[in-house]
């Protein structure tokens, strides 16, 4: 059986190819269907088996048949035919500023179908010679190409975690393993993961490895041995399993968790203290006596360090801090009291009715949730205007009086214009509990202009939070060039929080900037930017980012109880 993700990907690629062909209307229909399927909270296979595919919004008879074909055969004949007709690498379509129409143009003109060919054509100046392209679009395409190349071979944590957890469960449930743990970048909760590393101990290794390589979802066995096997699962993700002796489980876990830079630094420290450190254990040099290995904590302890949470193992000062007893007490899931960035179905880009937001917040035991609908920026119909703010506040208040143990905050996400003004008036902003301001248009300004624009928004006393401060969209658009020294200083002085936007498409701020913000005593918030009901789960991703940025509970505002949060918002 195929996964939902494969279905979504194939439908989107069909849309791209149809668009390249110049077909009208159909591409949009395929994309709409893909979007709906992507945001399903129910299992797609269940829906299919119960004959309810056509109940999915935007899925008609024709699309339902195609989905069924993908689920049954893991292929789509129609797509295969299109690919023969248009032999273009789908990666090419991921390049920003290079939509299907432009891809068709360069394919027609230069017979160019891959990223490598595109790069060559850019370098030799062939692209700029095509009618309608020019030096400016050459520069933009180069930027887009760089972003796509960087993310190649890496998957976002949000896609990896559920798959990896399923594999891990399959191992644990078999009872063939004693200990099973994630290692590598996944255990460090990096937002991009190359491959999944799992470490285990097992009594009968042959049996254990047989079980692993035949797990449900394994597509291909890349290598199989007694101590290490690698498989590729259906989503294309590679998973490595290593089975080690239990006397070395702690040292192997330490070693294979990485990062490599952290390990190098730790080994230097071990040597300076007269030890030898490797994946099998920590040894006192002369006697070759093993002093630690079974338990990871002891590896650090014997080196006079407190145990370092995996999220911090990036060689950013964590070893020194652990030696001085200065490691942060990282924020935990239970510390989060609410979500400060959610969109209700008021505006056309969100699909979560207010009562569903309430239900989901209660499910998570939140004590508050901010409904931060968009102001009416271009392309988003039904958003807030100065005329509609009073009605918005009333709606939130009446929804509020109907629930106990949860407080809804009336908010808005406003756009920061190129001159730093906002798209709702100050009179409106004053009526709201929470105002989030973010840049959503006019990205191509200079560093000075982008910085000044953000600073001006922070200087508005009604603005509480700057949303997704770097503006990047993963695989699509890089970060704005900003003067971070200035941003952090003004954020601290004006008492404006910077957002950790948990949405996988944004992942913004990122760990390094979060750590700097914390050092500059800037307050942070974690928001999911939910537009679909399943997006509320992104809180875990935001929490991972905060932890990788060394955040303690006190650095993040949505750990405050409601009364303290309200006091901060008002102040
Ligand atoms: P990834 O998979 O690219 O997202 O990143 P990692 O960190 O998971 O890297 P991976 O899977 O190649 O290896 C897992 C860990 O094993 C890595 O974080 C550190 C350790 N390791 C692997 N190869 C080496 C090596 O050559 N030297 C050192 N010191 N450590 C290594
Ligand atoms: Ca890895
Ligand atoms: Ca690996």
- In this predicted structure, what is the pLDDT of residue 382? 82
263 lines ligand 1 (CB under 6 A): yes
E strand or H helix that includes residue 262: helix 260-272
**Atom 1, ligand 1: which residue's CA is nearest?**
194
- Look at residues 269, 297, 282, 262 and name the one whose alpha carbon lies nearest to residue 188: 262
Probe target for ligand 1 pocket from 232, 260, 267, 296, with the most ligand atoms within 8 Å of CB: 260
Sign of dihedral through CA atoms 489, 495, 496, 499? positive
Ligand nearest to the CA of 184: 1
- In this predicted structure, what is the pLDDT of residue 1? 44
Q: What is the pLDDT of residues 208-236, one digit of tens each?
A: 999 999 999 999 999 999 999 999 998 88
Tokens of 82: 């299109």
The Cα 134–Cα 128 span in angstroms is 4
- In this predicted structure, what is the pLDDT of residue 287? 65
**Atom 16, ligand 1: which residue's CA is nearest?**
256
Count of C-beta atoms within a 10 Å radius of residue 44? 23
- In this predicted structure, what is the pLDDT of residue 163? 94
- In this predicted structure, what is the pLDDT of residue 565? 98
Q: What is the pLDDT of residues 91-131, one digit of tens each?
A: 888 887 788 888 988 998 998 888 889 998 988 888 988 88
What is the whole-number distance in angstroms between the Cα of residue 184 and the centre of ligand 3?
7
What is the whole-number distance in angstroms between the Cα of residue 312 and the centre of ligand 1?
15
Count of C-beta atoms within a 10 Å radius of residue 405? 9
Domains and CATH numbers, the chain: 4-151 (1.10.150.110), 155-243 (3.30.460.10), 248-323 (3.30.210.10), 333-570 (3.20.20.140)
* Burial track 526-547 (b if 16+ CB lie within 10 A, e otherwise): bbbbbbbbebbbbbebbbbbbb
Which of the residues in the chain have pLDDT under 50? 1
Q: Closest ligand 1 atom, CA of 267?
A: 29
What is the whole-number distance in angstroms between the Cα of residue 258 and the centre of ligand 1?
6
455-460 long-range contacts, CB within 8 A, separation 24+: 455/420, 455/486, 455/487, 455/490, 456/416, 456/419, 456/420, 456/421, 457/416, 457/420, 457/422, 458/490, 458/491, 458/494, 458/496, 459/490, 459/494, 460/422, 460/426, 460/429
Count of C-beta atoms within a 10 Å radius of residue 174? 15
185 lines ligand 1 (CB under 6 A): yes
């Amino acid at each position: 059986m195929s996964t939902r993700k494969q279905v979504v990907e194939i439908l989107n690629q069909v849309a791209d190819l149809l668009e390249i062909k110049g077909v009208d209307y159909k591409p949009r229909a395929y994309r709409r269907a893909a979007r709906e399927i992507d945001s399903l909270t129910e299992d797609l296979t269940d829906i299919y088996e119960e004959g309810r595919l056509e109940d999915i919004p935007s899925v008609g008879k024709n699309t339902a048949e195609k989905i069924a074909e993908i689920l049954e055969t893991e292929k789509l004949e129609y797509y295969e035919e299109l690919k023969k007709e248009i032999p273009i690498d789908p990666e090419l379509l991921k390049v920003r500023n290079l939509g299907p129409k432009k891809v068709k143009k360069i394919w027609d003109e230069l017979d160019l179908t891959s990223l490598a060919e595109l790069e060559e054509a850019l370098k030799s100046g062939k692209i700029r010679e095509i009618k309608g392209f020019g030096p400016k679009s050459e520069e933009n395409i180069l930027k887009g190409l760089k972003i796509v190349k960087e993310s190649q071979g890496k998957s976002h944590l949000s896609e990896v975690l559920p798959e990896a957890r399923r594999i891990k469960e399959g191992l644990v449930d078999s009872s063939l393993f004693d200990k099973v743990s994630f290692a590598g970048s996944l255990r460090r909760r990096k937002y991009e993961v190359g491959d999944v590393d799992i470490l285990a101990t097992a009594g009968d290794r042959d049996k254990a490895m047989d079980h692993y390589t035949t797990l449900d979802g394994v597509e291909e066995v890349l290598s199989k041995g007694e101590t290490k096997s690698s498989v590729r699962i259906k989503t294309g993700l590679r998973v490595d399993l290593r089975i080690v002796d239990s006397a070395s489980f702690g040292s192997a876990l330490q070693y294979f968790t990485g990062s490599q830079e952290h390990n190098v630094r730790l080994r230097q420290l071990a040597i300076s203290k007269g030890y030898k450190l490797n994946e099998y254990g920590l040894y006192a040099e002369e006697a070759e006596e093993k002093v630690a290995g079974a338990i990871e904590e002891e590896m650090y302890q014997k080196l006079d360090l407190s145990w370092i949470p995996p999220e911090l193992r990036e060689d950013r000062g964590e070893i020194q801090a652990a030696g001085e007893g200065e490691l942060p007490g990282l924020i935990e899931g239970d510390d989060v009291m609410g979500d400060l960035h959610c969109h209700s179905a008021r505006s056309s880009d969100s699909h979560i009715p207010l009562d569903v937001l309430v239900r989901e917040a209660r499910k998570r035991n939140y004590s508050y949730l901010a409904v931060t609908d968009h102001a009416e920026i271009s392309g988003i119909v039904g958003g807030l205007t100065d005329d509609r703010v009073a009605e918005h506040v009333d709606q939130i208040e009446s929804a509020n009086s109907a629930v106990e143990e949860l407080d809804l905050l009336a908010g808005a996400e406003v756009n920061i214009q190129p001159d730093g003004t906002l798209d709702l008036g100050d009179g409106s902003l004053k009526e709201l509990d929470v105002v989030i301001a973010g840049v959503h248009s006019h990205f191509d300004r200079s560093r000075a202009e982008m910085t000044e624009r953000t600073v001006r928004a922070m200087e508005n006393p009604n603005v509480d939070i700057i949303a997704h401060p770097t503006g990047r969209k993963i695989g699509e658009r890089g970060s704005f060039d900003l003067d971070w020294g200035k941003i952090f200083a003004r954020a601290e002085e004006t008492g404006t929080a910077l957002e950790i936007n948990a949405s996988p498409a944004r992942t913004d701020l990122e760990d390094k900037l979060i750590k700097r913000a914390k050092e500059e005593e800037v307050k942070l918030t974690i928001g999911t930017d939910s537009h679909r009901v399943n997006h509320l789960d992104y809180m875990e991703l935001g929490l991972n980012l905060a932890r990788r940025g060394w955040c303690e509970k006190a650095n993040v505002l949505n750990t405050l109880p409601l009364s303290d949060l309200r006091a901060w918002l008002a102040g």
